[in-house]
Structures are given as structure tokens and as C-alpha cells.
Amino acid sequence: MFTHDNPDSALCTEVHRILSRIRRLKTFVNLADVYNELLQFFNLQDSKMREMDTRPDTSSVLSSNLSILDRINFCSVLAAAFSRRARVLMHTKGAMMNADAVGLVSLTGGDTTLQMNISQVLTWVHHLEELLKNISSSSAIVQALRIELSHNDYFSHQDRTFWSLEASLSYGHGELHDIETEQYVKNIKKLNTLLLKARPDMDMITEVVKDLSELRYDEAKPIFKLFQGGGPEGQLDVDVALKTTLVVTHLRDLISQDCIQLPARGIKCAHFEVFDLGSFVRMVMQRRMAIPMNNHHAGDWGAPCPVCSYFTALVDLRVDRTVLNAIRAYTQEKNGKIVPLTANHALMWDLEKRTCRVIEDDNSDHARAHEDNSEIGVFLEDHEQDDQNDGIHKKRRVEIDGHVLYVDE
């Protein structure tokens, strides 16, 4: 039996308190507070489990009534409970909520209201999923769990650590995935309805496609891996290895020729260039007016990608979070003023740091990198040469079809 002075007992009490609070939720008003509590709990357990790996003496860990698996199970159960309760609230409060904000009255009464929409809830769900993934991918936690399981004869097979982690986290992952899948199906139905209207609402269609993108974001190709090793497959067609560390692409939309607002590409697109999601939607709808379509399923509504010409359905579009965050960071208020973004701006992709930022397309940044002999750039590297030729070389700026590259002179 646990005593109240026992840390393990205190942990169990805290889990029970959070679970009880989740089950008592009747509105969305306090959902944000519970979410913040979950974040604090997850971060605390993550740090505790990492500490176990750094201790030279594991006897105190092994003698604890609560194992590492117990802590992982707590995180999984709490994430699942949060997801299930959110789904119940969405159904009972007129959900699953669409992109329109819903005013929710506080339990304390008065005029206090909370503007919340489904995208916010899904953002929380996605974050909880990432936290659970971080637990399973943490080398420190895996090592600590391996030490713990080595003293348990029940886990005798060589994959016991992986199996234990998967089994413990599957409940939480499953419930979080269910809430996303349910909303995805609902948005597909909503998109089908919007597409068949005599006068389609372009803004509404764009918003629904954007929501679908968030729900299936992980299906997109990992953009920063495209040019590592020379291409998506890691093979080169030339006899000289080309290592790309910097790529510059324009923010001028190839469809409308205006500045990109919602940067997107298809899930099978293998290029850094993005196009504007709203412009693509309007292009698809124009094709619909010109070409009769017998199949009215959303998956058949699409158009060729303006960059690679690969047919891309509306449901296969993905808003690039990296570019979107770069745009928001650039345009945020500086000295009380919002920085305007125009079609003359560009994106600088740093493949070594895996970052992307907005630059003015006046080549000032590139010239500065050239003058300072910056390591950022593109250089040719002959695999047959010795390592003694690794000194700093001047770079020559080369622009090919909108791509800005740097090569050794």
C-alpha cells in the first residue's frame, strides 16, 4: 500500500485528480486549463524518466513501486481520456465544430465567453501525439526502460523494449488518432457538399482543404530530405557529387502571380517550391466549369501541380508549416508596424540547419554570404579528391529556373 508521504502515492493521486477533472468537464471553457495540466504532467514525467537513465545506481529506480512503464501508461491513459472527453464535448455542443468560431459561456456565469474552434482542439491533440512520440523515440527513456526490463524475466525476447513501449502508448495514440479520423471524414463530406454547389464558396473550400491538410500532414514528403544525397532516392546521375546546403525559391505564386498566402504542395511533390492554396482551389474550380465531371467524389477534384505538373487532388494538398511559420515570423509586428510581404520576396532554405526564412529578393543576403566566404551555399565536392582540399573557396552564384545555387569558382 502507498502512503501519502510516498512519491509514488502522490503521483497516483495526481493522475486520479486529473482524470476526475477530465471526466467532469461539461463545456470547453476549462478544456484549455486541463490541457495545460497535461502538458505539465507530461513534461514532469519525461524529465523523471530521463533522470533514471543518468543515475549511476539504478537500485532506487528498480525498488520503486512505480516503474517506467507505469509512468508511460499514465501518460497514455491521460492523453486518451482527454481525447475521448473532447470528442464527447464536440458532439454535445454542436460539433464536430467547423472553422466557424463558437462562443461558449463560462461555468461561472456572467458575460465571459471563450472563442474556440475545432482547429484549436486538433492542435492540442496533435501536440499530445507529438509528446507521446517523443517518449517512444527518446534514447534516454528507451535505455532506462531497457535496464528496467532486464530485471524482469517476463520480458525475455530481444524486442521487449519496443514491444512494451508500443503496447503502453497504443491506447493514447489510438484515441488521439480517432478524433482526427472522425473530423477528417466529416470534412470530406463537407468538401463534397461545397464542391457540388451551383456557386461554390471558394473561401469555404479553401478553409476545409486547409483543415484536411492539418489532419493528414504527416503524409507529405519530408522536404528537407529531398536533396540530401543528391535526390529523393539518394542517388546521383552525374559523376560529381553535389551537396546542397542552400536553396532559394520565390514567393511569387505561379498561378496568380501574386504573393503566396497559404504555401502548399501535393503529398507526392518532390520540390521546395510552393504555390498558394487558394489560387490552386480557384484553378480547380475553373477546370470544373470547363470540363464536365461525372464523378463527384472529392478525391477526383484536382489539377496538375503548377511546379511539377503532377496531378494533385484537393484532398492531397498539404500546407507547408515550415514556410507558413517563416511568413508569420517575417510579417509580425516590428516596432509597432506589420512588415508587408510581396511577391518580390523569396524563401531561403538552409538544409544543414533545416530552417526556412523569408528574404528580400534583392540578392543582398546572397552577396553578403559570398563576400564573407560563408559556409552556407552549394558546393561541388569530388569524391576522388583528398580531404586536404577542404579549405574555404569562393562561390559563384548560379541561378537556374528560379533556383539560386553557389558553386566553387
In the predicted model, is pLDDT for residue 261 greater than 80? Answer: yes
Residue 104 lies in a domain: no
The alpha carbon dihedral of 36, 115, 333, 377 has a sign of: positive
The mean predicted confidence, pLDDT, of the chain is 72
pLDDT value at position 231? Answer: 44
Q: What is the pLDDT of residue 27?
A: 73
pLDDT in the model for residue 153: 53
- Note the pLDDT tens digit of each residue in 373-386: 333 334 333 333 34
Q: Identify the pLDDT of residue 48.
A: 76
Query: pLDDT at position 224, please?
Result: 72
Do residue 131 and residue 255 come from a single domain? Answer: no
Statement to judge: residues 254 and 328 lie in one domain: yes
Question: Is 329 part of any domain?
Answer: yes
Burial of residue 310 (CB within 10 Å: 0-12, 13-18, 19+) is middle
Same domain, yes or no: 257 and 309: yes
Tens-place pLDDT, residues 41-54 = 888 887 777 766 55
Whether the pLDDT of residue 263 is over 90: the answer is: yes
What is the distance between the alpha carbons of residues 15 and 338, in angstroms, rounded to a whole number? Answer: 44
pLDDT score recorded for residue 196 = 83
pLDDT score of 140: 66
Q: What is the CATH number of the domain that holds 322?
A: 3.30.40.10
Both 25 and 124 in a single domain?
A: yes
Element containing residue 35 per DSSP (H, E): helix 31-54
pLDDT digit string (tens) for 121-139? 778 888 888 888 877 776 6
Find out whether 217 and 318 touch, Cβ atoms under 8 Å.
yes
- pLDDT given at position 300: 75
How much is the pLDDT for 383? 35
Q: Which of 75-84, 157-166, 243-252, 373-382 has the lowest mean pLDDT?
A: 373-382
Task: Evaluate whether residue 384 is within a structural domain.
Answer: no
* 49 and 142 co-located in one domain: yes
In whole angstroms, what separates CA 206 from the centre of its chain?
19
Structural domain contains residue 267: yes
Is 299 found in the same domain as 173? no
Mean pLDDT along residues 366-378: 40
389-399 mean pLDDT = 49
Top-confidence range, 23-27, 166-170, 200-204, 333-337: 200-204
Answer whether residue 207 is part of any domain. Answer: no
**177 and 289 inside one domain:** no
Q: What is the pLDDT of residue 90?
A: 77
| pLDDT-wise least confident of 26-40, 278-292, 361-375, 376-390 | 376-390
In a domain, 301, yes or no: yes
Spatial distance between the Cα atoms of 245 and 403, rounded to a whole number of angstroms? 13
pLDDT of residue 277: 94
Please state the φ and ψ torsions of residue 268, each to the nearest 5 degrees.
-105, 5
Is 378 inside any structural domain? no
Asked whether residue 41 is assigned to any structural domain, the reply reads yes
Mean local confidence (pLDDT), 70-93: 84
For the segment 110-114, the average pLDDT, to the nearest whole number, is: 33
Per-residue pLDDT for 83 more than 60?
yes
Structural domain including 292 reads 223-229+240-363+393-408
What domain count does the chain have?
A: 2
Q: Encode pLDDT of 169-189 as tens digits.
A: 788 888 888 888 888 888 888
Residue 192 and residue 245 in one domain: no
Residue 121's nearest CA partner among 55, 13, 35 is 35
Average pLDDT over residues 223-233: 56
Residue 259 carries which DSSP code? Answer: B
Q: Which residue has the cell 458575460?
A: 111
Query: pLDDT value at position 5?
Result: 53
- pLDDT tens per residue, range 337-364: 777 888 889 999 887 888 889 988 655 4
190 with 244, same domain? no
39 plus 179 within the same structural domain: yes
The residue with greater pLDDT, 226 or 312, is 312
Q: Which residue has the higher pLDDT, 404 or 36?
A: 36
**Residue-level pLDDT at 149:** 64
Amino acid found at 30: N
pLDDT at 251: 92
DSSP secondary structure of 229-256? TSSTTS--SSSSEEEE-EEEEE-B-TTT
Same domain, 251 and 190: no
Residue 37 has pLDDT above 60, yes or no: yes
CA-CA distance, 160 to 379, in Å (whole number)? 45
Lookup: cell for 245: 546546403
> Is 282 found in the same domain as 175?
no
